[in-house]
Structure 1
Amino acid sequence: MTTALTHSPVWQELLGHDDTEHAGALLGADPGRVERYCLHHEDLRVDLSRHPVTDSTWERLLRLAEERGVPGRIEALFSGASVNESEGRPALHTALRSRPDASIHVDGEDVIPAVYEELQRMAAFVEALRSGDVRGYDGRPLRHVVNIGIGGSEAGVTMAHQALADGDEPLRLHTVSGVDGRELAAVWGRIDPAETLFCVASKSFSTLETLTNARTAWAWLEAEAGRPVPEQFVGISANESAMADFGIPAERRFRIWEWVGGRYSLPSTMGLPLAAVIGMERFNELRRGMRAMDEHFRSAPAAQNIPLLLGLLGVWQISLRGATGHVVLPYHPGLRRLPAYLQQLDMESLGKSVTRDGQPVDYPTGTSCWGEVGINGQHSFFQWLHQGTGRVIAEFLVPVEEGGLPERHAGLNLASALGQVQALCQGQAPQGSGPEAEHHRYEGGRPVTLILFRRLDAYTLGRLLALHEHRVFVQASLWGINPFDQWGVELGKRVAKGLAPVARGEAPPPAEADAATRQALRWAGCWGAGESSDGTGV
């Protein structure tokens, strides 16, 4: 049975430990603090010195990891044990980027050969696609790839494409996720049907949004070509029979497995649309970066283990010090979708209120995760970060190299990031006294993590993504929750499915529809019919 965090003797020690000193004061009083609290992985620098932890805090947190069994959970994750308890299966996203000579057994079968078999099939298809050997219905090479997916089947592809594509690729990527048809209509205005490949990505191959869009795309392409065009569709799923029933040819069906969650699936065949655009070499560099962080997480000593320490720090800030948010601030426009990607990873994994064995928790787990390109955020919500009353963990991700930029831009991005980091940590007392002066008081002491890296490339992006996957796993292990299920998402899907015929005017509201939902449907029905509505009930 999973013991509640609050029953932990070490947690009780932390509750009684005085950690109220201002982080700026701690920095000023300890010349060796930055060196001790800065973690390294090759060129990656993760500076935790601006959190108000002390050496004795770290000593207790590392003991907490031992007491909560985190080392054993890490080994269970990598070895294929059933760490997704509520669904009774492993979570083997690490196998997707493992070395080809690795061996991981699930139900007595080594999964690595199957992973590499699919990756090799994918590589051959990507090479043929990029070289122009895959052609559309009129014989022309394909130039556009439309990824139809949602959630984990879309977020990673979109985020990594924006980070890594340079605009000179032979193929153009378009993504469709929303179910109202507007995204599809917009894409149709930018593509030639005879030059377009549609990738239908759904682990279950039953997702409402994805299958609705896929069927509409199939009908559109058939109308344009004058015949069905199954050869211009690719399927990526764990459900082989559903792909076949849809009409996707066998050689265009690519497999994923039930033991990988959608939000962890980018380095699998789910990444095919990305690989088609940036090439398999760079896609494999992304996988190699993830593997490098996997190996660090599994083998680095606890006191130098970056995901472990970030996870410990997150639990300490959220459950003990009351942090209610985690703001992700990349100082690179190519990472503009990273906050949304991490939002799903963080909030879908950690948004739980029961332990792994179904007992209610009595402490905060997870928090809101959000963000924006940092330089843009400085002109919107940074005011709240500096002088608001909320407490959030601010994570700055900053590349150093700026090759190819005009000379007058040199150093401005780095200076902007470091200036904000220092201001959030140190604060500033007002000059003078009185009510007017108080408007210029900056308390500082905001918890800030600074991640510096040489340049944004596929290898570094892979390391950053795996770093956060493992940080989330550590937090879940400490809280005793399961980060690999998402039953709340499933509830919303079930309710929506029952309301779809009502929204189309084909059925009355189901009995379980509450009064507010019924009234919303009445309003929608009146407006959809062109009638006026005074907002009263019927």
Structure 2
Amino acid sequence: MSHETFEKLRTLAAQVRARPQAGGELRICEAAGIELDYSKSFLTAEAAALLEKLAKDTALAGQFKAMAAGEKINTTEGRAVEHVKLRPSSPETAAMLPFAEQLRAGEIKGCTGESLNHVLHIGIGGSYLGPRLLYEALGDGKISCDFVANADPAAIDQALAACDPARTLIVAVSKSGTTPETIQNAQVALEHFRTALGQEPAGHLAYVSTKEEAMKGALGEGRYLAMDESIGGRYSVWSAVSLAAAAACGAKRFEEFLAGAHEMDEHVLAASGWENIAVAKALVHLWQQLVWEAQTHCVVVYANRLRSLPAYLQQLVMESNGKSVTKAGEPVPLPSSPIWWGGEGTNEQHSYFQLLLQGSHRIPLDFVYARQPEDPAQLARHRELVAHCLGQSNAMHYGFDLDACKAALKENEPAELAPHKVVPGLQPVNLLACERLDARRLGALIALYEHAVAALGWIWGINSFDQWGVEFGKSNYKKVLAA
């Protein structure tokens, strides 16, 4: 990081914070069918130039190319970061998709001879959040899925009570082959199947891991699907980890999902500066964080099928960039990742939007929506949904001042009520839009966030691809259990 450039940015940010003005120049970047509108970001021309210089000083273009080339950019673990190589195709998906299609066709049978038409997916972290998101967004109902992650016994017990063991495939996902929550839940599920079926549940188990023997030792015989050691859990949605989701949406949709991500990859590798949508997303994020000294970032999705995206992004962003030291082991000279949170519009309009509209915090926001519905018959209702999204973004940014509140008072309302109706505005809002939410656009959207997260990590000088804090937490669980 160029400290001189950063100090200039900090000075500019303080000036904007002291005299913020809503609105400004229309600023839009589009790639792979995803449009980023950051017109409400308080970005000045001087700040934009400095941020672009920061991107050049950080050599973001070279960093993206190094990742795509398979260089060992995960320096603390001595590994390459190769999730990009899973798109548009890979040996993993080539092995996984035919099995997913066999499930859809009713060709995979359990120990009773009945076709398996339900999947109980057991995993945690990236082995859970990505497949669940993909299932909810793209599943067509042909194969139903339940997802269990939590070690709380109630989670697996409720899922087992709702499934028919004779027609259910258990998919256990653990990169290490030893994830305690996953192994325990899978063992409970298998024992339940043995009791319910009165025999060994042969044909009812598949597992995804880098460690076949560890999974076999813990769970017994099953269909093994490999994953690569260089694929981090939070980047594994593109891999065999998503077997359940692929069975639910079909090989064609899954391949379109990969193709959309690949299209975004190609753009990120070719474009530069503000023309690169991932770089633009990262720089706007950094600018908004500096201007408002923001400690949180909110994502609101105006799409029911994306209801799990905020939770998915929580892991992607905070596990990647929730670090306080640089790759050199020195303290990061500025706050790194803020806290990411969010939910589903329009639900949240009747919840924490009150704080966003009239509270004392300035919180950068991403509003995600599709302009058109997937089903043309939903057009009129979908237009209302989009109006909610755009109307709320305008309300948060432009506000409703005291004079306007006074003028809007009804005859029977006292003047003292006006201050209570004031909406300060000035929230920084980014709009991410696609024409329709299909598999290809979903792949591009997730890849955009991945690349923006990586770019921010490089700017901060941290390693976005390890998670030593998570590993430490696991070790303490073992100490307590052994005590």
Q: Normalized against structure 1, the TM-score is what?
A: 0.84
- Report whether the alignment pairs 1:495 with 2:467: no
CA distance in 2, matches of 1:478, 1:291: 24
Superposed, 1:10-21 pairs within 5 Å as 10-17=5-12, 18-20=15-17, 21=19
The answer to whether the 8 Å contact 1:318/1:365 transfers is: no
Cα distance, 1:59 vs structure 2: 0.8
Query: What is residue 36 of structure 2 aligned with on the other side?
Result: 46
Could you list the per-position Cα deviations for residues 224-270 of structure 1 after superposition, in whole angstroms to 9, with x for gaps in the alignment? Answer: 233322421101001122123235547x1111111110010011111
Question: Who is 1:536 aligned against?
Answer: none
**Aligned equivalent of 2:64:** 74
Provide Cα deviations, 1:19-71, integer angstroms capped at 9, x if missing partner.
Answer: 345342x43xxxxx21xx11112542210110101122111100011112222
The alignment partner of 1:500 has SS state of helix
Deviations 1:109-153 (A, max 9, x none): xxxxxx32x322212211222111110111111111110101100
| Partner residue in 2 for 1:369 | 340
> Do the aligned partners of 2:135 and 2:244 also contact (CA within 8 Å) in 1?
no
Aligned partner (choices 77, 95, 98) of residue 87 of structure 1: 77
User: 1:194 Cα deviation (Å)?
Assistant: 1.3
1:259 match: secondary structure: coil
2:94 corresponds, among 120, 144, 149, to 120
Residues 73-472 of structure 1: matches in 2 within 5 Å? 73-98=63-88, 115-116=90-91, 118-167=92-141, 169=142, 171-249=143-221, 252-319=223-290, 321-402=292-373, 403-405=375-377, 409-431=381-403, 432=406, 436-472=417-453
* Cα offsets for 1:143-195 (capped at 9, x unmatched): 1111010110010111111111233x1x2111111112212221222221111
C-alpha distance in 2 between matches for 1:355 and 1:123: 39
May I ask how many residue pairs the two structures share in their alignment?
470
Q: How has the CA–CA distance of structure 1 residues 376 and 86 changed in structure 2, closer, same or farther, with 3 Å as cutoff?
A: same
Structure 1 window deviating more from structure 2 (39-48 vs 263-272): it is 39-48
In the aligned structure 1, how far is the partner of 2:215 from the partner of 2:198? 23
> How far 1:375 moved relative to its partner?
0.7
CA contact (8 A) 1:145 1:196 kept: yes
Q: Which one-letter code corresponds to 1:19 in the other structure?
A: V
SS at match of 1:485: coil
Could you tell me which residue of structure 1 aligns to residue 410 of structure 2?
A: none
| Matched letter for residue 8 of structure 2 | E
Aligned residues: CA RMSD: 1.8
Q: Report the AA paired with residue 298 of structure 1.
A: L
Per-residue CA shift, 1:74-106, capped at 9, x if unaligned? 1111111111111111111101114x5xxxxxx
Shift of 1:406: 5.7
> Is contact 1:203-1:239 (8 Å) kept?
yes
Q: Quick one: which amino acid aligns to residue 242 of structure 1?
A: A
Give distance in 1, aligned partners of 2:11 and 2:194: 68
**8 Å Cα contact 1:319/1:365 also seen in 2:** no
Determine if contact 2:178/2:215 at 8 Å carries over to the other structure.
Answer: no
- Native 8 Å contact 2:33 2:441 kept in 1: no
Instruction: Give the deviation of 1:14 after TM superposition.
Output: 1.4
Query: Structure 1, residues 449-472: CA drift from partner, whole Å, max 9, x if none?
Result: 011211111111111100000110
The corresponding residue for 1:529 is none
Stretch moving more, 139-148 or 308-317: 308-317
| Other-structure match for 1:106 | none
CA distance in 2, matches of 1:147, 1:407: 34
Match of 2:3 among 4, 8, 17: 8
SS of structure 2 residue aligned to 1:411: helix
Structure 1: tracts of 5 or more residues without a match:
28-32, 101-114, 502-509, 511-538
Is 2:20 aligned against 1:22?
yes
The 8 Å contact of residues 372 and 379 in structure 2, kept in 1 or not, is answered as no
- Distance in 2, Cα, partners of 1:490 & 1:14: 35
CA distance change for structure 1 residues 388 and 131 in 2, over 3 Å: closer, same or farther? same
Which whole-Å CA distance do the structure 1 matches of 2:470 and 2:163 have between them?
33
Q: Secondary structure at the match of 2:310?
A: helix
Work out the CA distance in 1 between the residues paired with 2:145 and 2:213.
27
AA partner of residue 59 (structure 1): A
Preserved contact between residue 41 and residue 288 of structure 2 (Cα < 8 Å): no
Comparing 240-249 with 283-292, greater Cα deviation is found at 240-249
Q: 1:230 to 1:140 in 2, by over 3 A?
A: closer
Q: Which amino acid aligns with 1:312?
A: L
1:294 Cα deviation from its structure 2 partner: 0.9
Unpaired segments ≥5 residues, structure 2: 408-414
Counterpart code for 1:151? G
Change (3 A) 1:410 1:153: closer
The offset of 1:329, in angstroms, is 0.7
Partner SS, residue 449 of structure 2: helix
User: For the Cα contact (< 8 Å) 2:110–2:202, is it kept in 1?
Assistant: no
Higher relative contact order (CA 8 A, sep 6+): 2
Measure the CA separation in 2 of the matches of 1:380 and 1:298: 40
Letter in 1 for 2:16: D
Secondary structure of the structure 2 residue equivalent to 1:358: coil
Greater gyration radius: 1
Q: Structure 1 residue 405: deviation in Å?
A: 5.0
Deviation at 1:410, TM superposition (A): 5.0
- Asked if the contact 1:23–1:51 (Cα under 8 Å) also holds between the matched residues in 2, the reply is no
